[in-house]
Structure 1
């Protein structure tokens, strides 16, 4: 595992955290449903990357022609990633509306590295390295402290947690799927096409939820949609998928927990929210987990 690839995954997770703050501002100033926001986010993110690749002249390098033997695996990988991204985004946002932000986030983000670790260990037929297990424990404990103890409720709450678990599994499968590089498919091309498809898949659902597919109100709304697509989507997932080629899947999934840490720090700085003693302790544990996962020169699961 090279330090550069490790840093790319960290950058991706940190950039994800900025999405929560932008989403908060967007929700406060518009009538967009959360599924519509997720759809627009994926569409804009995919479009930004596609435009960049087109300008750079890298689109023609992608093997799309049916006569090329490796085209079929490329198309399957792109379609699967797009479907998983749409599932991950949609089920998480619905889970938040049914349960609570803290509970849905804890399940969606906390379960993902566990699913990845179990699946990777089963595939490799050996347990994860000790420092990875320690880092996962630190990260999950830190996440619980950072988000607070999830509240409990009735059937709606249980359904929300179930959907959050589906979101976690979708993210975990997406991580495992893309942990193996595919010849002929670059990370940026994968992100551009698959996320555009994922956003298109969500459009019909967004059309019948809440206010439907309404346009963001005012220039600020469009700027926030553009930011969501360009930074926590295009740049973040592009960096994550690029680093994932050489960073172990379990390590990458644990590093993804930097997202709520970044969001919490950003909310404290920009929205005036207080972390409190438990939040500070949780942030410290998450930071300790990242230190435990630092590159050591060998590949571990």
Structure 2
């Protein structure tokens, strides 16, 4: 027992770190798009390319090598494709609906999909945590001004949720010779290369200004390379359902940062949603689904 608890604590800390860092990515991506005049798909491509490039450089400097086995190469290609699918579908959902609807649907649906795919009979505490997560996201992101005809946006958001769910389930099973950081590095780079032809259609010219380059480096290094490396590290010793639930820290962190840094006021409903989210996550970490 003394060996299990520290491992679980480290995994939980890694998943929490990933969720919080993802929450800064939305603000950084929006800032990069505004500063550089980029289409959201171009922002997504740069996010993966820069993140993959930074992580790959770090891996090589540590003495790491490219995937050498067919299993490792296949895993990198699959992860890269899922990264590209998740990013493209999410930003398509944003364009067809709104940031609130896209985020709420994607992050809310992913834990449900992971649970249905990985657990035959979910424990009561898992169901309570999932229901609380969905309810908290609705309260946090709900707006009475959202249009009702959002079928296309909802469909793309559900596709993004499916991509994230599959990514969570696939990477929960390690491949020999491929560490979480290497998976992140080569996967992000592959995803960025897959997205670039589509993003290039909308224009990917990046102004060589100090502020633009600084934001692009932060977006790639912190909420992408570091966050996904922490996420994949946490999944190595945690149940995939717990990993998917940790993703809800992204909109929670983004909402709090927007309120603190930009003076965006959160209403009573939003603060209630934040409280429900924290409680739902606490239940998930307190009573995790057994592996």
TM-score range, shorter chain: over 0.9
1:50 corresponds to 2:56: yes
Say how many residue pairs are matched: 284
Match of 1:249 in 2: 240
Counterpart check, 1:162 vs 2:144: no
> Normalising by the residue count of structure 2, what TM-score does the alignment of the two structures yield?
0.93
1:9-48 to 2 correspondences below 5 Å = 9-48=15-54
Which residue does the alignment assign to 1:86? 84
- Which residue, 135, 139, 162 being the options, matches 2:133? 139
1:270 pairs with one of 257, 261, 264: 261
SS in 2 for 1:247: coil
| Pair 1:185 & 2:175 matched | no
d(CA) in 2 for partners of 1:141, 1:63: 42
Change (3 A) 1:189 1:168: same
Q: Deviations over 1:198-241 (max 9, x none)?
A: 001111001112xx111146211111111100010000000000
Alpha-carbon distance in 2 for matches of 1:246, 1:263: 27
1:2 and 1:295 in contact (8 A); partners too: no
Counterparts of 2:30 and 2:73, CA distance in 1? 35
What secondary structure sits across from 1:131 in the alignment?
A: helix
Q: Return structure 1 stretches of 4+ with deviation > 6 angstroms.
A: none
Measured in 1, the distance between the counterparts of 2:266 and 2:208 equals: 31
Instruction: Provide the residue aligned with 1:73 in structure 2.
Output: 71
Q: How does the TM-score come out when normalised to structure 1?
A: 0.90
1:214 alignment partner, SS class: coil
CA distance in 1, matches of 2:161, 2:142: 19
Provide the residue aligned with 2:3 in structure 1.
none
Aligned partners of 2:289 and 2:91: how far apart in 1?
34
Q: 1:171 is matched with which residue?
A: 164
Q: Contact 1:29–1:217 (CA<8 Å) still a contact in 2?
A: no
Question: How far off its partner does 1:158 sit?
Answer: 1.4
Distance 2:204 2:71 in 1: 33
* Gapped regions of structure 2 (runs ≥ 5): 1-6
Please say if 1:152 is aligned against 2:142: no
1:117 aligns with 2:124: no
The root-mean-square deviation of aligned C-alpha atoms, in Å, is: 1.5
Q: 1:185 & 1:217 partners in 2: Cα distance?
A: 35
Residue pair 2:242, 2:285 contacting (<8 A) in 1 also = no
- Structure 1 residue ranges without an equivalent (≥5): 65-70
